[in-house]
């Protein structure tokens, strides 16, 4: 009777040609084979950046759901463990500081109950303020903070829900963007139209992460213009026109 369990793979062949690439490839292959399960499959932890567990905590408190203290403590332990040496949180392992990820992680830890004067919270706060504060957050984080009433909705780019009604021939249409963009844009349109306020039973806020008063934060800065765009080339064209007239 033939077994459904795959036979173990043979040991990784030695690729000792003296080159760094061959040695690295041999080590990687050996590590993969050593981590293979007995029936032939691999199983690894699916780990994202700090924003995913932080957003989970903030969503539960946004909705005012019953608090799972044991789970929150596990999440807090994880967020403390992956805090970077720069004081904040990156978007990938051992990556550079990211202000939006750091603001969400700090907010979640404070929501769970970490004291702002704790060493890891102080380091995170100082790192965020040293880089311009939570004022520099991306649009997704601004929406979250607006839902919590920390920022005003004027800090978020206007996206009218009527975008959903645009005809297919229009330069922008939901069918012309990727599925991931659609799954983000449509909920954001609804949230901006309804602006449902967070329940936030513990009344936690993070005003201390802003440079100045958070309610006065305006819309995000416009992206830098590309060289050769109409805006950057219009003036030289006018000058050439005046010289040739």
Same domain, 33 and 63: no
String of DSSP letters for 172-216: --GGGS-HHHHHHHHHHHHHHHH-PPP--TT----GGGSSS-GGG
Q: What is the pLDDT of residue 11?
A: 52
Distance CA 25, CA 23 (A): 5
3-state secondary structure 125-174: HHHHHHCCHHHHCCHHHHHHHHHCCCCCHHHCCCCCHHHHHCCCCCCCCH
What are the tens digits of pLDDT across the range 190-235?
A: 999 999 999 999 999 999 999 999 999 998 877 566 555 444 444 4
Backbone angles phi, psi at 89, to 5 degrees: -125, 140
Q: How many CB atoms lie within 10 A of CB 32?
A: 12
Domain of 201 in residue numbering reads as 51-216
Q: What is the pLDDT of residue 240?
A: 46
Same domain, 65 and 83: yes
Same domain, 86 and 141: yes
Q: What is the pLDDT of residue 221?
A: 74
Q: What is the pLDDT of residue 141?
A: 97
Q: What is the pLDDT of residue 226?
A: 55
Which residues lie closer than 8 Å to 125 by C-beta, 6 or more apart?
106, 116, 208, 209
Q: Are 180 and 188 spatial neighbours (Cβ–Cβ below 8 Å)?
A: no
Specify if 231 maps to a domain: no
Same domain, 209 and 96: yes
pLDDT below 70 — which residues of the chain?
1-18, 223-245
The CATH code of the domain that includes 55 is 1.50.10.20
Specify if 137 maps to a domain: yes
């Amino acid at each position: 009777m033939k077994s459904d369990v795959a036979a173990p793979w043979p040991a990784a062949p030695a690729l000792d040609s003296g080159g760094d690439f061959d040695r690295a490839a041999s080590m990687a292959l050996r590590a993969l084979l050593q981590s293979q399960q007995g029936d032939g499959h691999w199983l690894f932890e699916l780990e994202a950046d700090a924003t995913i567990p932080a957003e989970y905590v903030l969503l539960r408190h946004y909705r005012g759901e019953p608090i799972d203290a044991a789970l929150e403590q596990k999440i807090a332990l994880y967020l403390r463990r992956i805090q970077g040496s720069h004081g904040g949180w990156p978007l990938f392992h051992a990556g550079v500081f990211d202000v939006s990820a750091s603001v969400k992680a700090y907010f979640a830890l404070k929501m769970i109950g970490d004291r702002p004067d704790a060493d890891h919270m102080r380091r995170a706060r100082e790192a965020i303020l040293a880089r311009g504060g939570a004022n520099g957050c991306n649009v997704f984080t601004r929406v979250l903070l607006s839902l919590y009433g920390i920022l005003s909705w004027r800090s978020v780019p206007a996206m009218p829900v009527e975008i959903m009604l645009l005809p297919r021939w229009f330069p922008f249409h939901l069918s012309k963007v990727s599925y991931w963009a659609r799954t983000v844009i449509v909920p954001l349109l609804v949230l901006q139209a309804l602006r449902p306020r967070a329940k936030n039973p513990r009344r936690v806020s993070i005003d201390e992460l802003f440079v100045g008063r958070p309610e006065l934060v305006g819309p995000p800065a416009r992206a830098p213009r590309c060289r050769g765009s109409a805006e950057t080339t219009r003036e030289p064209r006018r000058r050439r026109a005046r010289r040739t007239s």
